[in-house]
Structure 1
């Protein structure tokens, strides 16, 4: 597997980008420059898309066992290079060792699920209202899929689109986030190259959004744009795609609610909240944003939560027992500290943390927060927990649904039916009873409601996203067209 990631990848060739700008790739914890990449230009992007379009025509006809064999070989390549991949995830995205291992395991599950897709391209034979006619419905690949991957779970969230797209007979062009060009894109060129994927089916263009971002979406070749990132950018992508009548699969921001009802098991709820809030520094679209606790158990929950949060180790993500590593860059640190300051000015109290050491923001807990404060309104995307009291089921449901997001969530109750009833009232694409909000399984539908996105990833649902249906009818016996034709004879 190639590990020189200083070039972009088009038509099976590692080449220097033709933009006059270069991009430095920096370790967010140490500040060390990992690699410098000459950026892709619009001309490079056009070459990537046209190459993909040509290669896809033959790949669509490839036998299912051969498509599956490439995916299975890619899994083997990943397993053989596991330590290299983990090192890149840790050093490039600031992931802790624990998170990097979990991310890679989730990626294996996605790949294994995708390996089944070549045999799941099912069609139908259906009856016709016309005598002597047979109706057939074929499921075909879309063609070329443009993938824009994020920086927070770059490996997993890139492969979540790459593997299903290739397995269903499509070609892909990937533009990774500028903070994670390797684990969000270039490393897959290396993996699938070693797996024997035919040239042109996977292309990676590393470039700045200001130079190639809009063209990545508006180029006439791609039939679908898969994007994971902020709602603001997702809305812009949706507008550009709409003008070209392209499909989109958008996983966007979240303001996820964690609800501990009056009858919750406090010990279990605290453990769930700690994981769902501080895992990967809270830099997860599914991470808990607002922790709602019934006022009768609020003090007990808060004291136990703060006591356990004090034991979270923060700092160097490469140390295997670190819980909280660095944020991706200094801008994120500054943004969150400003939101903390604003909320404190309105009456919130910092009970733990609240300070940064470089890009590492200490695990932070605030009480006295209301649902209207900035930390509650905004997606925090960092290791800051806010505890908000509520008095009734009706009140917390209103709180949870008060913002235009609906990605994930969690409800805790000793009464499963009670918890389920409340969960049903939360306007979200995913929600979990007696667990936390950060869940993904390769065979279950993943996606959000409202401003948290469009479409669903994983399982049979991504098959629907990445393929198209064609109605083909066969007239087996001569058709009687009635008086329209009879009058002509």
Structure 2
């Protein structure tokens, strides 16, 4: 063994976790989890079918009934134990994120920070499941409001921040007394599902409360969402899929928490510090190769700063280390698969035909794409569509009003950023942008465990984080108590 090599200690990383047992799925498909950088096969997973999903939901439902009755201090203690386990296994998890999802060391460590933070915040939820007594219009009546778990939650995770974007639903759902069935993206089944089940198994949650299923969608269809047991489906992913899930849940009267696509803008105002704005834009655009829902897609720059910004941004983008994500100084590694590269290249060609200018032309090596920088208008393909890759489109604006107009000219509204010489001027512009989150004199990729995270318009429904997660994963019940005899007009007027 080489000195400093990470020892990966969790085993059976090719199994579904159903009813407290690690086992093969009963589906027809064997899926190969591969390293997107070098194509190495990491695991072969026998995928789940509809019967496995049914068993998983029934198991979660059965165990949830006892879990919700558990002393809240005990539930909190188990969540804290999960935090301790993840802290002790950080290097192991970083290695998995690099190998399975192509994460850089920087991105992998940021993701683990997020995972730990949201789980630590969720550990407080069992002690915050409070009720209240509310005054009544009726004499002698006491109105009690009880906060309760929903029951069972279905969680569908994405490939880009697989561990965190699953855990931000799994941890709050478990902490508030729910059972959970998690379906990770099969491309990142290990980091997006299997490792989370390993952590909570080690932490001591009841067997069968948390289930992880890895199905072939072509085989199961809508069974994961349509199943009658889950009361909420939490989904992070594309807007078309989110819209379909929303329609299914609406038909079945289920809650949804949807965090969908973005077309995020960074605005550079006329009084902004260009160097500072460029630094923010580089990170917000190229972090994890641009495969982040919050990543900057469009950079809108006041005409007086435009030429200076474009030159500096291109010069700095040329210096970014691109290649093997195992190298600690690499910022841009592989995209998740070749289909992603082909889709992006097609969008770039379309943008060129629409009049966009290529200021920096990248190259493709395997699944690795070097940065592309284009200039053009809000109507070119790379500006209208979420690239989800290392492609930036820079757009000039006449003034603040024009910049806001361009930023809002999209069906999406997830995140964004504004750079201004005066922070308050930046805030006034930010308030005019129809988006769930805006960061002044910073970049768009921000997430914190105590803050409301979510989008507007086609970017989603609901909020994650802090008290908002507590609200999403629970419901309330009104129980009234009539402590004095209540005169019933029907009785007194008609039964004499």
Q: TM-score range by the shorter chain?
A: over 0.9
2:462 to 451, 455, 458: 455
The aligned residue for residue 468 of structure 1 is: 475
Q: Deviation per CA, 1:235-268: give whole Å up to 9, x if none.
A: 0000111111000000000000110011111011
2:135 is aligned with 1:138: no
Q: Where in structure 1 do 4 or more consecutive aligned residues deviate above 6 Å?
A: none
The answer to whether the Cα contact below 8 Å between 1:456 and 1:465 also exists between their aligned partners in 2 is yes
Structure 1 residues 207-222: aligned runs within 5 Å = 207-222=215-230
* Counterpart in the other structure of 2:27: 19
User: What do the CA deviations read for 1:216-251 (whole angstroms, capped 9, x no partner)?
Assistant: 101000000000000000000001111110000000
Measured in 2, the distance between the counterparts of 1:414 and 1:193 equals 50
TM-score when normalising by structure 1? 0.98
Kept in 2, the 8 Å contact 1:52–1:144? The answer is yes
CA displacement, residues 59-103 of structure 1 (integer Å, 9 cap, x when unaligned): 111111110111111111112222211111111111111100010
- Between the aligned partners of 2:253 and 2:23, the Cα distance in structure 1 is 32
In 1, Cα distance between the equivalents of 2:172 and 2:137? 36
**Residue 484 of structure 1: how far off its partner (Å):** 2.8
Partner of 1:90: 98
Instruction: Answer yes or no: is 1:185 the counterpart of 2:169.
Output: no
User: CA–CA distance in 2 between the matches of 1:361 and 1:46?
Assistant: 41
Worse-matched range after superposition: 2-11 or 29-38:
2-11
Deviation at 1:363, TM superposition (A): 1.4
Query: 1:402 maps to which residue?
Result: 409
CA distance in structure 2 between the partners assigned to 1:148 and 1:267 by the alignment: 39
Note the alpha carbon deviations across 1:125-184, whole angstroms, 9 max, x for none: 011111111000000000000000000000110100010000000010000012111111
Residue equivalent to 1:311: 319
- Structure 1 residue 416 corresponds to structure 2 residue 420: no
From 48, 55, 64, the counterpart of 2:63? 55
1:69 aligns with 2:77: yes
Match of residue 391, structure 1, among 391, 398, 405: 398
Q: Deviations over 1:16-44 (max 9, x none)?
A: 11012111101100101100000001000
Q: Which residue of 2 aligns with 1:428?
A: 435
> Does the CA-based 8 Å contact 1:95-1:325 persist in structure 2?
yes
1:125 equivalenced with 2:133 (yes/no): yes
Task: Please give the alpha-carbon distance, in whole angstroms, between the structure 2 residues aligned to 1:447 and 1:175.
Answer: 21
Partner of 2:3: none
**Does the 8 A contact of 2:355 with 2:380 survive in 1?**
no
1:487 to partner: Cα distance: 3.7
> Unmatched 5+ residue regions in structure 2?
1-8
Offset from partner CA, 1:192-236 (integer Å, 9 cap, x none)? 111111011100000122222511101000000000000000000
Shift of 1:347: 2.5
Using the alignment, how far apart are the partners of 1:128 and 1:51 within structure 2? 40
What is residue 243 of structure 1 aligned with on the other side? 251
Name 1:269's counterpart in structure 2: 277
How many residues are aligned here?
A: 488
Q: Is the contact made by 1:3 and 1:190 (CA closer than 8 Å) also made in structure 2?
A: no
Instruction: Give distance in 2, aligned partners of 1:44 and 1:337.
Output: 39
In structure 1, list runs of 5 or more residues that go unmatched.
none
Q: What is the CA RMSD across the aligned residues, in angstroms? A: 1.0
**For residues 311 and 483 of structure 1, what CA distance do their matches in structure 2 show?**
82
> Does the 8 Å CA contact 2:226/2:249 hold for their aligned counterparts?
yes
Q: Distance in 2 between matches of 1:208 and 1:250?
A: 21
Aligned-partner Cα distance in 2 for 1:297–1:445: 33
Q: Confirm whether residue 364 of structure 1 aligns to residue 372 of structure 2.
A: yes
Aligned partner of 2:264 in structure 1 is 256
User: Is residue 337–residue 354 contact of structure 1 (8 Å, CA) maintained in 2?
Assistant: no
Q: What CA distance in whole angstroms lies between the structure 2 residues aligned with 1:461 and 1:315? A: 39
Match of 1:106 in 2: 114
Counterparts of 1:83 and 1:396, CA distance in 2 = 43
Q: Does 1:194 align with 2:185?
A: no
Equivalent-residue separation in structure 2 for 1:364 and 1:55 (angstroms): 50
CA distance in 2, matches of 1:416, 1:189: 44
Distance (whole Å) between structure 2 residues aligned to residue 300 and residue 152 of structure 1: 33
